[in-house]
Structure 1
């Protein structure tokens, strides 16, 4: 444990929803929910205005609509979120070279690796001010002598706050907290502890390490007791190695047509390769994930002879793997991933998927055996894209441009019509709303505009 609060944990407040509010003037101060919008959709992020109604991450979107029917329900715009994240991470790098990103909106920062002699509280306040100036978004920050305490402090600082855990105050912070606050305590572990009468962090410490080991096993019990006592010596680790890259989609209705399944696999494979190339990586193992109509989930994988980032190779391999699974009853989720990542590719791998031997495809650990007597996907023609339903090309939250009215975003669509609000991030008042036919040739999709804000000058960088 450090003798000064020099580990910083930064967490952007309701990040996806906050980006949407910042870029859409009519939604500022209003409840916003970002996530999947179909019958099986799940909430990714909810604004604080929606959270007061009980809407939170990972709940079903249908349930969120019942809790907060007046909220704006929007599809995610990950390209814009990544662009804003890059701005935030750049500001963090201006403070210290030692950064451990956890996600697009969350990171640890080791202030001891930065300029010596700075007051941690002043650095944190300056960093929050710079993020607000550059993006218009707020961030919550925790400062402590360990990663565990810094993370807990940032949670207590939300929204838009700063909590500093001074040396000697760790127990006062930890003791009253519920056991689920600690890393590694999920529902199952919490239930084991509850049955033993252990509900708070203080009660974990009071129970003692031997009792925790008896309840949870040696490794888990020992580490949990140490965390509850505030002991956490883990360093901030920069550039954590990504072990795999994957994408998946849950479908509003089960897919029963084999051609549609192949089309979706091709589309997911292309998206996966885009992310792979964006990270400057390649991979040797292609993995498909299939969740069938009865919720049974299967994975299949095939390891290639060398790393690749060729979309044709990934597509053909993924199609062959999915063809080895019986999907006639219906598919509710498909995913494609690449693991065994490397920083290089081999240019002559284009044909290797077709050259793979009959024993190349192996079920992933724990998966059931492949279905027999299925023809390989490499011999199948490419599936045509499915016919879109009327209005399905326009999803709430999408950026659009009209030849006469300029830039805006889709508020909703249906019965052959699409409603657009014409406003841009720099506007200070809500824009006008107009309705068009879904096939209006003057209306086209557009790329997101950057958020309003000014880059901070060098004299303001977390000074």
Structure 2
């Protein structure tokens, strides 16, 4: 007999805003927007007080300030967001048998099989309480038999609440919800479904599948089954140990500082290029030095999640100078990044990201076409 699945979805409420409030409690209860400047960039997130005026994530800042001119604009503290995200990750990792870090502030936990030893809802409540006690941040969760229902339950539980959808009650939970809250339904599909007269997920679930296929197409089968509460996506184990590295054993041992710095910059650029190609960011950078007698030393540093050369290179240089025994020749030099995550978009929505990301995309396109050494920073030549 197949085990009953239990999946919890955790989501830190208005995460960036709440971290800013921890830093400055006087901001509590005020309309807050984290994002770019008043007339450029997009809203990263906003407080519930700002949402009452129609402000929403990904909205152009200019429009957001028109809707809520009294909002307090915050530029964002990437290092603090990374710090608190790590805290929550460590708390969950210490307790959960299997978890997936979906983003900087969002986690799935698979506790299937633990119901032999613990009551699933009680265990999940206790984990939430531990997170809130240690971080002082609000967090919501949904508990259900699959990832889709768990996430949608979290959305219904917000802000700072929790909701369990019991096994067998998935369709009943979904039925009254408007189609706009249906996970994975985009604007185009939503428009088509409204044109068919559907307003709730229940309307879709009760519609004959063969008729739906004629109007919606190939997507209809998956859509209809999900409207029944069926979803089979697995929780993918989170591994922080994965890394990307680049190192070079020199033909001749050297203490030529200009050469060593150029090599360090080149290696860091290659690592950053690979990060961007993999759509990942790194939360830790390490430098390795091997001397002629084969003695090998390394030093690492936690960093705000990034995949940009200009943010990684200064850290690599600092670590090198902290590690290097002045005047000694070096046989091998290496750079490694770890704590890899796909949090790129969320953690990098600051400092005019569109312009910066566009610049790096152009550089990466040249490297893809003409080779990775085709373009480099001034310090790498």
What TM-score do you get using the length of structure 1 for normalisation?
Answer: 0.54
Any conservation in 2 of the 1:93–1:99 contact (CA below 8 Å)?
A: yes
Q: Unmatched 5+ residue regions in structure 1?
A: 246-265, 288-307, 312-330, 341-352, 363-375, 384-463
Structure 2 residue aligned with 1:345 = none
Structure 2 residue aligned with 1:206 = 206
1:64 lines up with 2:88 in the alignment: no
Q: 2:360 aligns with which of 324, 336, 352?
A: 336
Runs of 4 or more above 3 Å deviation: 1-5, 113-116, 269-281, 308-311, 358-362, 380-383
Give the 3 Å change call, closer, same or farther, for CA 33–210 of structure 1 in structure 2.
Answer: same
CA offsets, 1:72-106, max 9 Å, x none? 21112122111101111111122213101110100
Give SS of 1:102's match. Answer: strand
Return the alpha-carbon distance in structure 2 between the equivalents of residues 101 and 165 of structure 1: 22
Deviation at 1:360, TM superposition (A): 3.2
Query: Aligned-residue CA RMSD in angstroms?
Result: 4.1
Return the alpha-carbon distance in structure 2 between the equivalents of residues 18 and 359 of structure 1: 43
Return the alpha-carbon distance in structure 2 between the equivalents of residues 200 and 58 of structure 1: 25
Deviation at 1:240, TM superposition (A): 7.9
Give the 3 Å change call, closer, same or farther, for CA 140–335 of structure 1 in structure 2.
Answer: farther
1:85 lines up with 2:85 in the alignment: yes
Any conservation in 2 of the 1:34–1:43 contact (CA below 8 Å)?
A: yes
Structure 2 residue aligned with 1:164 = 164
Give SS of 1:172's match. Answer: helix
Any conservation in 1 of the 2:3–2:112 contact (CA below 8 Å)?
A: no
Deviation at 1:122, TM superposition (A): 1.1
Give SS of 2:140's match. Answer: strand
Deviation at 1:29, TM superposition (A): 2.3
Q: Unmatched 5+ residue regions in structure 2?
A: 245-265, 287-306, 309-333, 338-354
Structure 2 residue aligned with 1:233 = 232
1:360 lines up with 2:370 in the alignment: yes
Deviation at 1:230, TM superposition (A): 0.8
Deviation at 1:381, TM superposition (A): 9.0
Give SS of 1:64's match. Answer: helix
Count of paired positions = 288
Q: Kindly indicate which of the two structures has a greater share of residues assigned to strand.
A: 1
Any conservation in 2 of the 1:5–1:166 contact (CA below 8 Å)?
A: no
Give the 3 Å change call, closer, same or farther, for CA 82–310 of structure 1 in structure 2.
Answer: closer
Give the 3 Å change call, closer, same or farther, for CA 165–185 of structure 1 in structure 2.
Answer: same
Instruction: Give the alignment of 1:52-131 within 5 angstroms.
Output: 52-112=52-112, 116-131=116-131
Give SS of 1:207's match. Answer: coil
Return the alpha-carbon distance in structure 2 between the equivalents of residues 279 and 214 of structure 1: 51
Return the alpha-carbon distance in structure 1 between the equivalents of residues 94 and 163 of structure 2: 21
